């Protein structure tokens, strides 16, 4: 959606999920003067007449991905003013890699009063191609700089670039608009700037994290599930770990997977890493699964320093997990029991849903606004394969009231 800002015309995006983050990004684009219309999973975006170079703080503060607008805005208009971003409280994700990369391409960047002010000096108002080495293979910085470079003068080389499938998908989208990009999916991306991009009609790849979450749902509930459409190679590290614990994942077609769980899952160790390593966005879901796997597992979180906040909530459900620094030591238990829990972030909310599906009794989860940021109708899809759950509005309820609510909810809920 941010990439459409590069195009002085109309673009159509297909396979767009119904997510809170998509809605928020749409509000940000509208605030910049972009026209959006939606019909089902099709989003039509007209960025011909951008009337603003400043994104509103009240919107940007809710969505970290909104910072991606800085690269396209700067490349298109020669100026961009974007507040420092917000999002899930899973750790520091500074924008210094974005800023240093834009400066290497000739931008003047000033951070003042919580806002990043970027502009291109000179008459041409075009960024200049540059060789940029990223200290860390940040997805956000890679995508921001790749988009900015599409309209720059000359060639830009991004070294130590992120290799995630989402980076490749964005590069393919930019190429569909006429950008000249090669090497996406490797650690070196080369962008040859062009003067102008054009309209396109583009289908977005399936969400590998949503697919991985459903694979774990099948394993943790000992259920055979079939998923389609997916891109199996995007799930290679997730599939490998499922096989290590004793489950099997069968590819039934080019875009179709089936999870065949085992009656007995065993412990394994996981270290989160940039792609093609094990994704940090699957860490919480796998932790829920490992709580019910025989033996001791260790999960090492190397990407975000605050991404173990779900441990306390899983322990409330009877899990046996200890945290030492960036490591979570999980001793498998025979059963989990339903309990009132609170989601701390997007993937933690999914992990608690999975744990609740496998637990005995009633589990109530507060904080579903996190879930809605990254899952399109998760409860509807789970209900469609036999889960027993229900979303309810409980006005004015706080965590300390949950014990009073559980008997009432128990009339309608089953794990």
Overall average pLDDT of the 198-217 stretch: 98
Collapse the DSSP code of 77 into the 3-class scheme (helix H, G, I; strand E, B; otherwise coil) and give the result: helix
**Boundary (domain end) residue, out of 194, 222, 247:** 194
Catalytically active residues are 88
CB 170 within 8 A of CB 143: yes
pLDDT classification of 414: cutoffs 50, 70, 90: very low
In angstroms, the Cα distances linking 146 to 111, 276, 285 are 21, 20, 31
Q: Are residues 116 and 184 in the same domain?
A: yes
Determine the Cα–Cα distance for residues 172 and 150; give it in Å rounded to an integer: 12
Beta bridge partners of 155: 192
CB 43 within 8 A of CB 118: no
Please state whether the peptide bond connecting residue 276 to the residue before it is cis, i.e. omega within 30 degrees of 0: yes
| Cβ burial, residue 302 (10 Å; 0-12/13-18/19+) | middle
pLDDT score at 52: 87
Is position 201 within any domain? no
Domain with residue 273: its CATH number is 3.65.10.10
404: which 2 tokens?
């009073």
348: which 2 tokens?
């933690």
SS3 content of the chain, % helix, strand, coil (to 5): 35, 25, 40
**Boundary (domain end) residue, out of 194, 220, 248:** 194
Number of separate domains in the chain: 2
pTM for the model: 0.91
Q: Are residues 188 and 308 in the same domain?
A: no
pLDDT score at 27: 94
pLDDT classification of 86: cutoffs 50, 70, 90: low
Beta strands in 261-363 (DSSP E): 270-271, 296-300, 320-324, 327-331, 340-342
Q: How many CB atoms lie within 10 A of CB 164?
A: 21
| Cβ burial, residue 390 (10 Å; 0-12/13-18/19+) | exposed
Q: Are residues 241 and 141 in the same domain?
A: no
Is position 203 within any domain? no
Q: Are residues 53 and 141 in the same domain?
A: yes
Q: Are residues 398 and 270 in the same domain?
A: yes
Q: Which domain holds residue 22?
A: 3-194
Is position 162 within any domain? yes
pLDDT score at 88: 44
**pLDDT for residue 90 is more than 80:** no
Q: Are residues 340 and 402 in the same domain?
A: yes
| Cβ burial, residue 238 (10 Å; 0-12/13-18/19+) | buried
CB 304 within 8 A of CB 286: no
CB 156 within 8 A of CB 190: yes
pLDDT score at 277: 96
356: which 2 tokens?
């609740």
| Cβ burial, residue 400 (10 Å; 0-12/13-18/19+) | exposed
pLDDT score at 415: 31
CB 196 within 8 A of CB 8: yes
Is position 200 within any domain? no
- From the list 258, 327, 320, the residue with the least C-alpha distance to 298 is 327
Picking from 125-134, 224-233, 305-314, 322-331, which range would have the lowest pLDDT averaged per residue?
A: 305-314
Q: Are residues 251 and 399 in the same domain?
A: yes
Q: What is the pLDDT of residues 146-180, one digit of tens each?
A: 999 999 999 999 999 999 999 999 999 999 999 99
Overall average pLDDT of the 131-143 stretch: 95
Q: Are residues 261 and 384 in the same domain?
A: yes
Give the angle subtended at the CA of 21 by the CAs of 39 and 27, to the nearest 5°.
Answer: 70
Q: Are residues 185 and 117 in the same domain?
A: yes
Picking from 242-246, 300-304, 410-414, which range would have the lowest pLDDT averaged per residue?
A: 410-414
Overall average pLDDT of the 366-389 stretch: 93
Q: Which residue in the block uniquely carries the two structure tokens 């000739």?
A: 106
Q: What is the pLDDT of residues 217-231, one digit of tens each?
A: 999 999 999 999 999
Q: Are residues 289 and 315 in the same domain?
A: yes
> What's the chain's average pLDDT?
91
Which helix (H) or strand (E) element contains residue 354? helix 346-358
């Amino acid at each position: 959606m941010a990439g459409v800002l590069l195009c002085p015309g109309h673009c159509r995006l297909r396979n767009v999920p119904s997510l809170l983050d998509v809605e928020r990004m749409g509000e940000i684009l509208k605030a910049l003067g972009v026209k959006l219309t939606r019909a089902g999973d099709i989003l039509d975006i007209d960025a011909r007449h951008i009337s603003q170079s400043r994104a509103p703080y009240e919107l940007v503060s809710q969505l970290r991905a909104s910072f991606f607008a800085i690269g396209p805005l700067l490349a298109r208009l020669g100026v961009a003013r974007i507040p420092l971003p917000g999002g899930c409280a899973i750790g520091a994700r500074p924008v210094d890699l974005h800023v240093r990369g834009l400066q290497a391409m000739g931008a003047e960047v000033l951070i003042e009063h919580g806002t990043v002010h970027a502009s291109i000096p000179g008459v041409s108002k075009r960024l200049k191609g540059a060789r940029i080495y990223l200290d860390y293979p940040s997805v956000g910085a890679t995508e921001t700089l790749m988009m900015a470079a599409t309209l720059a003068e000359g060639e830009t080389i991004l070294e130590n670039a992120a290799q995630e499938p989402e980076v490749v998908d964005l590069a393919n989208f930019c190429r569909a608009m006429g950008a000249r990009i090669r090497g996406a999916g490797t650690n070196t991306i080369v962008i040859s700037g062009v003067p102008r991009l054009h309209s396109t009609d583009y289908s977005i790849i399936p969400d590998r994290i949503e697919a991985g979450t459903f694979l774990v749902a099948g394993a943790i509930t000992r259920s055979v599930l079939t998923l389609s459409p997916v891109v199996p190679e995007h799930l290679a590290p997730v599939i490998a770990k499922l096989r290590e614990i004793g489950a099997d994942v069968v590819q039934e077609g080019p875009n179709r997977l089936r999870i065949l769980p085992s009656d007995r899952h065993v412990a394994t160790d996981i270290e989160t890493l940039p792609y093609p390593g094990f994704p940090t966005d699957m860490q919480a879901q796998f932790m829920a699964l490992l709580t019910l796997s025989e033996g001791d597992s260790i999960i090492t979180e190397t990407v975000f320093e605050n991404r173990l906040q779900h441990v306390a909530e899983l322990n409330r459900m009877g899990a046996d997990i200890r945290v030492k620094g960036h490591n979570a030591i999980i001793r498998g238990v025979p059963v989990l029991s339903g309990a009132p829990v609170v989601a701390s972030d997007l993937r933690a909310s999914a992990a608690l849903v999975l744990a609740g599906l496998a637990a005995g009794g009633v589990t109530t989860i507060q904080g579903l606004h996190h879930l809605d940021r990254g899952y399109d109708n998760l409860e509807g899809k789970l209900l469609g394969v036999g889960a027993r759950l229900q979303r309810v509005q409980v006005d004015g309820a706080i965590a300390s009231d949950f014990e009073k609510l559980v008997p009432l909810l128990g009339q309608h809920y089953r794990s």
